[in-house]
Amino acid sequence: MTTPSNEKPPALLPSARAIVLASASAARRRMFADAGVPVGLDPANLDEAELKRSMAAEKVSPRDMADFLAELKATKVSHRHRGALVVGADQVLVLGDLVFDKPADRDHAKAHLRALRGRRHKLISAVVVCENGAPVWRHIAEATLEMRPFSDQFLDAYLAAAGDAVLSSVGAYQLEGLGLQLFNKVEGDHFTILGLPLLAVLDYLRTRGAIGS
């Protein structure tokens, strides 16, 4: 029996302890919900764009950038939820020596996609779990994607159809939807591409007895 699309799937087992997602990301929230894992939501509300610009100016590597921001989010929120396991995540897109952030508007999204068109880029997704204000676990995963050389006409049609949803992704695409048509090759874990290496997270939560094993 399938779960109706407008309903959340039931949790497989009640969580043994509180799990909090330090994110406002709809994709990350949906991943936990689809996996049947109940989580609380408490976004860290950081100025991620400014932090990334500052770290880029200091020549911080994209991998360290994602890891730092994931830890910063989880640590900040963890102070507000004593005893809970707080999950912080961040993702950066790397094209050559350039690090991309989420586009500010559709014009920026169009520029991002033009830069990525016909080229390979890398997504780096980091996740850190904090407990009582301190990190207790971390994981970093990478995926490589290749965009096909689509036409300007297709690009305009894609942006019109996708709407403001393109602003929620660092690459201005959503691989789980219309954005799939932008690519001709994808190498890496699906959840890593969506911004959270979920299988590794679930495995850690089982070792802590937070979800059923």
157 within some domain = yes
Q: How many separate domains does the chain show?
A: 1
- Average pLDDT of span 172-178: 86
pLDDT value of residue 3: 41
Q: Is 101 among the catalytic positions?
A: no
Rounded to two decimals, the pTM is 0.86
- Average pLDDT of span 30-59: 89
145 within some domain = yes
147 bridge partner residues: 183
42 within some domain = yes
- Which of the residue ranges 15-24, 64-73, 96-105 would you say has the lowest mean pLDDT? 15-24
pLDDT reading at 93 higher than 80:
yes
pLDDT value of residue 5: 45
Question: Domain range spanning residue 46?
Answer: 19-207
213 within some domain = no
Q: Which of 90, 156, 164, 189 is catalytic?
A: 90
1 within some domain = no
CATH number of the CATH domain containing 159: 3.90.950.10
Pairing of strands 85-95, 98-100: antiparallel
Share of the chain above pLDDT 70, in %: 92
3-state secondary structure of 56: helix
Looking at per-residue pLDDT, the higher value among 129 and 7 belongs to: 129
161 within some domain = yes
9 within some domain = no
Mean pLDDT across the chain, nearest whole number?
Answer: 89
CA angle 57, 46, 165 (to 5 degrees): 95
28 within some domain = yes
